[in-house]
Amino acid sequence: MLIRLKRAYDPPEDTDGLRILVDRLWPRGISKEKLRLDGWEKALAPSSTLRKWFAHEPNKWEAFRHFYFEELNGHGEEATNLLSRAEHSRLTLIYAARDVRHNHGIVLKEFLEKMVKDRNK
């Protein structure tokens, strides 16, 4: 399974496969039609408390990754369901953050890839 990341403000492509929004809040200034989503997984987004604490500050990145992984461990059922939906296609995780190097999508992708790897052992 191939898991990709894409900003909500980048245009959808046919090669995106299953497009899932993974933010807790709807991206500003973009319509549902323009996003062309196959689903919205709010439960897999960081908690509001963690998101506000992190505030996309790069110096908090490693701590954010740690705390977000802990949160994701409590959402194994949602993650498993998402992976099952995308089992035979590409999965594109859609996020709104401006910073493409320090955002929750990166951590979620890593978490899901680890689940796939562990499942295939």
56 — alpha (psi -120 to 50), left (phi > 0) or beta?
A: left
Q: What is the pLDDT of residues 22-50, one digit of tens each?
A: 999 999 999 999 999 999 999 999 999 99
CA dihedral sign, ordered 25, 28, 31, 34: negative
> How confident is the model over 48-78, as pLDDT tens digits?
999 999 999 999 999 999 999 999 999 999 9
pLDDT at 4: 96
Of 39, 108, 97, residue with least CA distance to 73: 108
Cα gap 47→103, rounded to integer Å: 13
Task: Give the pTM.
Answer: 0.94
User: What is the model's pLDDT at position 69?
Assistant: 96
